[in-house]
Structure formats: structure tokens, C-alpha cells
Amino acid sequence: MDIAQNTERTREPMWRQTIALANRLNLTYWIIVSLSFLAHVLPLRISYAITVALSYVIYICWPALRKCVMANMRQVLGDDADEATVRALTRSAYRNYFKYLVDFLRFPHLSKRELEGVIKSSGWEHLDKALESGKGVIFVGFHFGNWDLAGAMLALRGYPLNVVAESFQPAKLNDLIQRYRIEKGMKIIPLEIAARKVLRALRQNEILGLLIDRPEPASGVPVEFFDRTASVPGGAATLAVKTGAKIVLGYLVRLPDNTFSGLISPHLDFEPTGDFAQDVQLVTQKIMDIVEECIRQYPDQWYMFQHMWGDNQTATSSSFA
């Protein structure tokens, strides 16, 4: 290894070096397997208590990430929000996210009956109506509430759900995480080979699940989001404009008793102008307008651990969402 490589490595944050080492040794895989077992055997309230305590430790000990999340929360709440409120809701977002991790770890052990016992949902008629077009449905979600449980409910109700998912490293870890989803009836499409498979799914009048709120400063579509410009993925809008597939938004939020309430919205209506780039931007804006309404209602259930707006988008601290 030459001096330049050594220098580059020393510039990497310690947490990145630690994660890289854990991946090489498959430690992350074994940690998740072990935690999944513990989450299954421990009473749920104890699992939640442990992870909530951990969320406070990370909130205190990782200041760069805390500042990032607080900056996003401050933008969501607006200029009238005082600092105490911003901090309180940021801590609440940490708590909710770490509870989501417990739910994910328990995911493979939950039966359909157990899922239906903690989830109350409405709007299924909107999904059925969207499927009547015969051109497929793009089910848009975002890093909000519990998107894995939402996907599981779709699949367990018999809807043909395809999920575009990022691959994790190492491969053993990726196989584990994706198997959790496959066992609940989801079809996983790796992001790196998604193009042909997503078109096939829509042609077969199936449902394609996409998360659309991660910032993409270099290649995203600019939209107005909480009164500032953000760049977000345009894949959902691009597919809808190209194929005529219907776009439906849905979410699942945590209630105070740790059950969940889900809602599926009516499909998005838009009239193509014939200008492809303009149509993609307009549809993406319509999507993000609905996303904004959801986040305004439950700001502490939006898990955005990257800088979302403006110049800060290029200075991402980290994402573990």
C-alpha cells in the first residue's frame, strides 16, 4: 500500500473504518442474527427500552449526526419552532427509529395474524382501483414510520409486491436482510439491476415499491420541499410518465401504544404535457407535496439522517436509514 492510500485511509472517519472492518469479518451479519434472536425471545417492552437507551447514547455521542438531524427537523418545523421543541422532536425521531430497528429484527418471527393484530389500515380500495388500469402501480413510500411492515402487509394480503432495494455489504449480510423481506412475500429487485425487471413487473400489472425521499444532489429532480429546494430521486415519476402506471402513496405510523396506523392514498392524477422532463418534475413535485403533508403530521417519524436541503446535501454526515 502506498503513501497516498495510507493518507486516504487516515482521512476516513473512524466510524467508517470500524464498519468496513466489521463487514470484512462478517461481524455485522452475526450481530444482526444475534440481535434478531434476542428481539424474538425478550419481551417487546424490554427490547424497546434497550434500544431507546441506545438511541440516547448515539444522540449524545455522535454530534455531527445530531446536528444533521436537527437541521432537517428545524426546516420541517419552520421558523416559529423554538430550540427546545426542535431538540425534543429530534430525540423522539431517534427513539422511533430505534424502535423501528427492533421491529425489523423481529420481522422474520412475526406471523400474518401477529402483524394484523398490531396494524390498522385503510385505503385498500384506492390500491384496487389503481390496479384496474392494468398498467401496474408504483407504490411510493419514504423513510417514515415503518416501511418494512407496510410492505409486508401488502404482500401478506396477496398483492404482487416488488421492492427495489439497495444491496448491503458484505454479501452474507445482504442475503440475510433481503431474506427477511422475501419470507414475508416481497419480491426483491436489486437496485443495480432494476431497470428491466421493474418494467416487466409493471407490464404484468404488479406493484412496484419505491422509497423516494433520499437526497440526490447530483442527479435528482429539484422540488420545493418545506419551503426550500431539495433534489430527490425521480424514478417513480419517470416510470409513471413512461408507462402510464398509477402512483399511490402509503405509510404506516407508530401510535403511542406501539401499534400502527396505515393509510393508502388515492392514486395521483396528472395530465402529461408532452414535455418529458417537465412531466417528471411536475409529478415528482406532486409526490413530494403529499410526503410533506404526512411529515407535517408526524415530524418525529421521518427518519432522515442525511442533510436534505441546499448546499448541505453534499456534506452528508451519514445514513443508517
Give the rounded percent of residues in the chain with a pLDDT score beyond 90.
61
Tell me what the pLDDT averaged over the chain comes to: 88
Torsion (CA) 154, 160, 166, 171 in degrees, nearest 10: 110
The reported pLDDT for the residue numbered 18 is: 65
In terms of Cα–Cα distance, which of 263, 33, 319 is closest to 125?
Answer: 263
Residues 6+ apart with CB under 8 A from 255: 261
DSSP H or E segment with residue 207 = strand 207-211
Higher pLDDT, 131 or 186: 131
Q: How many residues does the chain have?
A: 321
Residues 6+ apart with CB under 8 A from 265: 123, 126, 248, 249, 250, 290
Q: What is the pTM of this model?
A: 0.87
pLDDT tens-digit readout, 216-256: 998 899 999 999 999 999 999 999 999 999 999 999 999 99
DSSP characters over 29-62: HHHHHHHHHHHHHS-HHHHHHHHHHHHHHHHHH-
**Does pLDDT of 314 surpass 50?**
no
Q: What is the DSSP letter of 302?
A: B
pLDDT tens-digit readout, 21-49: 666 667 778 878 888 888 889 999 999 99
The reported pLDDT for the residue numbered 16 is: 63
Q: What is the spatial distance between Cα 54 and Cα 5, in angstroms, rounded to a whole number?
A: 34
Map grid coordinates 431539495 to a residue: 230
Domain boundaries, the chain: 3-108, 113-315
Region 281-289 average pLDDT: 97
Which amino acid makes up residue 304? Answer: M
For residues 227 and 237, is the Cβ–Cβ distance under 8 A? no
Neighbours of 320 (CB within 10 A): 12
For residues 318 and 306, is the Cβ–Cβ distance under 8 A? yes
User: How far apart are the two ends of the chain, measured CA to CA in Å?
Assistant: 33
Distance, C-alpha 156 to centroid of its chain: 20
Q: What is the spatial distance between Cα 244 and Cα 239, in angstroms, rounded to a whole number?
A: 8
In terms of Cα–Cα distance, which of 186, 232, 192 is closest to 212?
Answer: 232
- Strand segments, DSSP code E, in 32-160 are 119-122, 137-141
